Amino acid sequence: MNEYLEHVNMMTLVGFLFGAIVGSFINVCAFRIPRNKSVVFPPSSCPKCKQRITWYRNIPLFSWLLQRGHAACCSFKIPVRYFWVEFINALAFAYFFRLSVISSSWDIGIVGCFFSFILISIIIIDLETMTIPDRFSMGGAILGLILSFAFPSVHQLDGVDIFSRLHSLFTSVLGLLIGSSFLYWIGAFAYRIFDRDALGEGDVKLLGCIGAFCGWKGAIFTIFGGAMVGCALLIPLMIFQKMKPGGAETHDHSVSWGKEVPFGPFLAVAALVFFGGMNEFVDKWLSVKLAPLLNVIGS
Ligand SMILES: [Zn+2]
């Protein structure tokens, strides 16, 4: 029993360290992809003085902590964001590694790590540039289809024979189509009613990617979960801005959907929560509450 626990903790630590390394790569992607630069070449260099960063000054988490956010080459201050991205990705990987060891199947671990890599990259890039690169949203959707075929247990299917794989792939395709079209129609109606764009095409593609990984129930959960997370954070912020002296007049600086605040990061957070364990509760709740309806749809 003790040995088992040691093994679980050991693998959690391995997941954490591996996640920190991948998080460091996310930082590279988030800086270079929106600027149309290669993510593999040239090697890491200081954004200010362009000097190459030696490997021992480029260790995820530790280098930032040891240098307290200051570059070794010049006066460049490394944003604290770099540290947080590595840390949050490390936590996500540690979680999926632990889940895999406990459930003694690496399916959820492999797919979960790919999914968190894609979603955390999207969160950072969308927050910074208000766009979601196709190679993450569309590339992620294709990856979701491939991984669904490879690991049917991700969609709660038991077998690994060709029929289970095709069933899993079909579940994934259905999730992609239902997720993206549902969000597309919400956006289309919102545009007619409020006469402004609240959702971007990037969000619709992102929901397709989420549906490919989580199935259609996960996609629907993500839309409502994302909206709830967004409202919980945005409404206090809007009220606060209205209360500030002269806050209501400075209209250009007030926060609002789709313009100053991207919707993508909220969707990504909700999708990670769903994939990380919420799916069991949602599936159970849906099958109890909506059993008659599900029979009609045939799922
Ligand atoms: Zn420098």
- For 139-188, the pLDDT digits (tens) are 999 999 999 999 999 998 988 899 999 999 999 999 999 999 999 999 89
Question: Which residue has tokens 């600086």?
Answer: 253
Distance CA 227, CA 265 (A): 11
Angle at alpha carbon of residue 287, lines to 292 and 299, rounded to 5°: 70
CA of 130 to the centre of ligand 1 (A): 27
Where does residue 288 rank: exposed (0-12), middle (13-18), buried (19+ CB within 10 A)?
A: exposed
Distance 68 CA to ligand 1 centre (A): 15
**Other residues' Cβ atoms within 10 Å of the Cβ of residue 36:** 7
Position 259 scores a pLDDT of: 58
Q: How far away, in angstroms, is 64 Cα from ligand 1 center?
A: 14
User: Rounded to the nearest whole angstrom, what is the distance from the C-alpha of residue 84 to the centroid of ligand 1?
Assistant: 21
Cα of 15 to ligand 1 centre, how many Å?
A: 31
Output the pLDDT for position 167. 96
pLDDT of residue 297: 62
Residue 294 Cα distances to 115, 199, 205, 297, angstroms: 27, 29, 25, 5
Question: Cα(54)–Cα(171) distance, rounded to whole angstroms?
Answer: 46
Ligand 1 centroid to residue 50 C-alpha, Å: 6
Task: Give yes or no for a contact between 12 and 97, defined as CB atoms under 8 angstroms apart.
Answer: yes
* Ion ligand 1: protein residues whose beta carbon lies under 5 Å: 46, 48-49, 71, 73-74, 76
Low-confidence winner among 66-80, 120-134, 185-199, 244-258 (lowest mean pLDDT): 244-258
Identify the pLDDT of residue 211.
97
> Which 3-state string (H, E, C) describes the chain?
CHHHHHHHHHHHHHHHHHHHHHHHHHHHHHHHHHHCCCCCCCCCECCCCCCECCHHHCCCCHHHHHCCCECCCCCCECCHHHHHHHHHHHHHHHHHHHHHHHCCCCHHHHHHHHHHHHHHHHHHHHHHHCCCCHHHHHHHHHHHHHHHHHCHHHHCCCCCCHHHHHHHHHHHHHHHHHHHHHHHHHHHHHHHHHCCCCCCHHHHHHHHHHHHHHHHHHHHHHHHHHHHHHHHHHHHHHHHHHHCCCCCCCHHHCCCECCCECCHHHHHHHHHHHHHHHHHHHHHHHHHHCHHHHHHHCC
For the cut 50, the answer to whether the pLDDT of residue 197 exceeds it is yes
pLDDT band at 92 (very low <50, low <70, confident <90, very high): very high
**Å from CA of 44 to ligand 1 middle:** 11
> What residues does each domain of the chain span?
152-299
Q: Is the pTM of this model over 0.85?
A: yes
Considering only residues 92 and 156, tell me which one the structure prediction assigns the higher pLDDT.
Answer: 92
Give 9-41 pLDDT, tens digit per residue. 999 999 999 999 999 999 999 999 989 888 888
pLDDT at residue 255, rounded to an integer? 56
Structure tokens at 64: 């930032």
Distance 33 CA to ligand 1 centre (A): 21
39: CA distance to ligand 1 center in Å?
A: 19
Task: Report the separation in Å between the CA atom of 91 and the middle of ligand 1, taken as the mean of its atom positions.
Answer: 29
Distance 77 CA to ligand 1 centre (A): 9
Asked if the model's pLDDT at residue 260 lies above 80, the reply is: no
Q: Give 215-230 pLDDT, tens digit per residue.
A: 999 999 999 999 998 8
What is the distance between the alpha carbons of residues 7 and 239, in angstroms, rounded to a whole number? 49
State both tokens at 104: 């003694």
% of residues, the chain, pLDDT over 70: 92
CB neighbour burial string for 264-277, b if at least 16 within 10 angstroms, e if fewer: bbbbbbbbbbbbbe
Query: How many angstroms is it from 200 CA to the middle of ligand 1?
Result: 36
Q: What is the pLDDT of residue 209?
A: 98
pLDDT value for 250: 47
80 Cα–ligand 1 center, Å: 16
Give the distance from CA 236 to its chain's centroid.
Answer: 24
CA of 135 to the centre of ligand 1 (A): 30
52: CA distance to ligand 1 center in Å?
8
Tell me how far the alpha carbon of residue 266 lies from the centroid of ligand 1, in angstroms.
34
- Å from CA of 75 to ligand 1 middle: 7
Band the pLDDT of 296: cuts 50, 70, 90: low
How many A from CA of 74 to the centre of ligand 1? 4
More confidently predicted of 199 and 227: 227
C-alpha 72 to ligand 1 mean position (Å) = 7
CA of residue 25 to ligand 1 center, whole Å: 19
The pLDDT of residue 282 is: 84
Instruction: Look at 278 and 162; give whichever has higher pLDDT.
Output: 162
pLDDT digits (tens, 9 = 90+) for 40-50: 888 888 888 88
Q: Does residue 258 have a pLDDT over 70?
A: no
- Is the pLDDT at 81 greater than 70? The verdict is yes
pLDDT at residue number 244 = 67
Residue 148: the pLDDT is: 97
